């Protein structure tokens, strides 16, 4: 891919090639770089939030970081950089549209971050990566950050000394690049169960938890 799109020119271009190689395309793939990049993205985003919001407490900073580094947010950045069109995929992933899948795009983005760090060090990596997230950071109002439904449900139950919820994947339907996940949230002690639908398992769990919270609050 053009290094102009990511804003960095590699001294060792093989690092970028490896960062864009999915495990389905060979043993020399992006998984190790993805491991490194995951930690770097979390650090770069955490530092940016810490410096930008001097009055925000730990909870707000943590929730903002989680929002910025979740799979769908990373995939959105990857699409802006057009990473999908540059991925090296095996025949099966290529046929199923893997280059459009959020999970693969997010992993590849983290791998590219790891590759930039391995090639140029932390300062260079931060200088390239931080601008990718600045627009999303600008959109977040720290005063309006709320805990996600799963966290709020867990805290509601713990405050009343109830068992934690159980989440079960009921179905994953549709083509690989356009799947719908259906998740069950069970609260056995309270005799309550709800379902959530979304394009990935985690958001489906959040939807199920939100439905459970709504029913619990309505019954108060």
Given the residues 34, 110, 148, 205, select the one marked as catalytic. Answer: 110
Cα–Cα distance between 99 and 79 in angstroms, integer? 10
Instruction: Check if 110 is active-site.
Output: yes
Q: Say how far residue 14 (Cα) sits from the centre of its chain.
A: 26
Which pair of tokens denotes residue 63?
A: 């929730």
Q: Say how far residue 110 (Cα) sits from the centre of its chain.
A: 10
Cβ proximity of 99 and 84 under 8 Å = yes
HSE-CB at 214 with a 13 A cutoff on CA atoms is: 11
Which residues on neighbouring strands pair with residue 180, listed in sequence order? Answer: 173
- Sorted by sequence, the CB contacts under 8 Å of residue 126 that are 6+ apart come out as 44, 47
Instruction: Check if 38 is active-site.
Output: yes
Cα–Cα distance between 88 and 33 in angstroms, integer? 15
Nearest to 40 by CA among 114, 131, 103: 114
Given the residues 34, 38, 93, 205, select the one marked as catalytic. Answer: 38
Which ranges of 53-199 would DSSP assign to H, the alpha helix? 58-69, 71-80, 91-95, 102-120, 122-139, 149-159
- Catalytic residue IDs: 38, 110
């Amino acid at each position: 891919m053009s290094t102009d799109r990511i804003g960095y020119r590699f001294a060792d271009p093989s690092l970028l090639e490896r960062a864009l190689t999915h495990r389905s395309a060979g043993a020399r793939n992006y998984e190790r770089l993805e491991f490194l990049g995951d930690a770097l993205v979390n650090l770069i985003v955490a530092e940016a939030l810490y410096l930008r919001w001097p009055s925000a407490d730990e909870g707000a900073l943590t929730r903002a970081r989680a929002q910025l580094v979740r799979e769908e947010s990373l995939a959105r950045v990857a699409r802006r950089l057009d990473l999908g069109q540059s991925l090296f995929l095996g025949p099966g992933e290529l046929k199923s549209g893997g280059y459009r899948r959020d999970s693969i795009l997010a992993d590849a983005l983290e791998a590219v971050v790891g590759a930039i760090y391995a090639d140029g060090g932390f300062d260079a990596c931060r200088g390239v990566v931080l601008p990718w997230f600045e627009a999303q950071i600008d959109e977040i109002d720290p005063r309006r950050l709320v805990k996600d439904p799963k966290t709020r449900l867990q805290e509601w139950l713990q405050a009343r000394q109830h068992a934690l919820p159980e989440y079960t994947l009921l179905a994953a339907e549709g083509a690989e690049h356009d799947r719908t996940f259906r998740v069950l949230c069970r609260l056995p002690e309270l005799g309550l169960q709800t379902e959530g639908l979304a394009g990935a398992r985690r958001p489906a769990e959040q939807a199920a938890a939100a439905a459970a919270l709504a029913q619990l609050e309505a019954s108060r």
